[in-house]
Amino acid sequence: MRASPEHLASAVDALLKQSELSREETQRRFEQAFDVDRWRRLAPFASIGSGRWDDGEASSISDSAADREKRRLDEDGYFRLPQVFDSARIARMRRIVEAVRADGWPVAFAFVFDDFWTIARSPRIASFLGKALGEAYLQNTVVWAHWVPGERGVAGWSPHEDYRDVGDTFLSVWIPLSDATVENGCMFLLPGASSREISMATEERRDLPPTVFRRALQDVIALPASAGSMIGWRGDVLHWGGANTGGSEPRLSLALEFRARGAKASRFESPLIDPRAPLPPFRLRLFAIVKALREYTKFEPMLTRYLPLAERIFAETAEASLSSSNAPRAS
Ligand X SMILES: O=C(O)CCC(=O)C(=O)O
Q: Can you give the binding site for ligand X, defined by CB under 6 A?
A: 144, 146, 156-157, 162, 172, 174, 239, 241, 253, 255
Residues 289/317, Cβ–Cβ less than 8 Å? no
Q: Which is nearer to ligand X, 20 or 249 (CB)?
A: 249
Q: Which is nearer to ligand X, 42 or 216 (CB)?
A: 216
Q: Which is nearer to ligand X, 241 or 275 (CB)?
A: 241
Residues 168/260, Cβ–Cβ less than 8 Å? yes
Residue 137 burial (CB count, 10 A): 24
Cα distance between residue 121 and residue 90, in whole Å: 15
CB of 229 to ligand X, least distance (A): 13
Give the residue from 115, 128, 210, 112 showing the smallest Cα distance to 173: 128
Q: Which is nearer to ligand X, 39 or 170 (CB)?
A: 170
CB of 57 to ligand X, least distance (A): 26
Give the residue from 242, 246, 241 showing the smallest Cα distance to 152: 246
Q: Compute CA 307 distance to the chain's CA centroid, rounded to the nearest angstrom.
A: 18
CB of 238 to ligand X, least distance (A): 10
CB of 127 to ligand X, least distance (A): 23
Q: Which is nearer to ligand X, 122 or 253 (CB)?
A: 253
Judged by phi (left if over 0) then psi (alpha if -120 to 50, else beta), residue 134 lies in left
CB of 83 to ligand X, least distance (A): 19
